[in-house]
Amino acid sequence: MKIFFMSDIHGSLHYLEKALARFKEENADFIVILGDELYHGARNPLPLGYNPKAVSELLNSYSEQIIAIRGNCDSEVDEMVLTYPIMSTYSTILYKDKRLFLTHGHVYGEENLPRLRRGDVFLYGHTHVPVAKKKDDIYIINPGSISIPKENSPNSYAVFENDLFEIKDLAGNTFMKLNI
């Protein structure tokens, strides 16, 4: 099974279309969205191709393959237009003997980790900066942002298959890897 991770779409139809093209090219089975699907929030500029209505319609066409959690820019009204649930602060995926803990990063973060077991994986978005590292026996992954990258990072996503996380730019070039 191959999982495609993205975060911080912020209503950008332009970058969502690029990310979904990569999803298809990666031949992934599921899409995990780590929050901030539709709106840009007061701290972010409008991203290229800002169109929350079209973004919701496009995401809905993939709803059977999406696992999503709530970001700080997501609200209850978003769940009214999306055909998949997004209002949970976190979710988990069990993989072999590990838990993949999914969150946005505004409640739980690198400095405020939930209780995890040795070898578990903490996946978050929110910062718009990609991360792939191991810290105190916990694996930490942030796919970055597909639409509004920060700290000179590229627009990016992550894929997970066969114990390997790869963070890639929207051209499909891997620039970070982490085996778990």
Calculate the alpha carbon distances from 65 to 5, 33, 76, 109, 127 in Å.
12, 11, 21, 26, 25
In whole angstroms, give the CA distance from residue 180 to residue 28.
Answer: 19
- Pairing assessment for the beta strands 131-135 and 30-33 based on DSSP bridges: unpaired
Task: Give the fold, CATH level 3, of 3-179.
Answer: Purple Acid Phosphatase; chain A, domain 2 (3.60.21)
Nearest to 34 by CA among 64, 59, 5: 5
Please tell me the total number of residues recorded for the chain in this structure: 180
Give the global pTM.
0.96
pLDDT in tens, 129-178: 999 999 999 999 999 999 999 999 999 999 999 999 999 999 999 999 99
pLDDT in tens, 109-136: 999 999 999 999 999 999 999 999 999 9
Q: Where are the domains of the chain?
A: 3-179
Helix 52-60 to helix 13-26 angle (10° resolution) is 20
52 band by pLDDT with thresholds 50, 70 and 90: very high
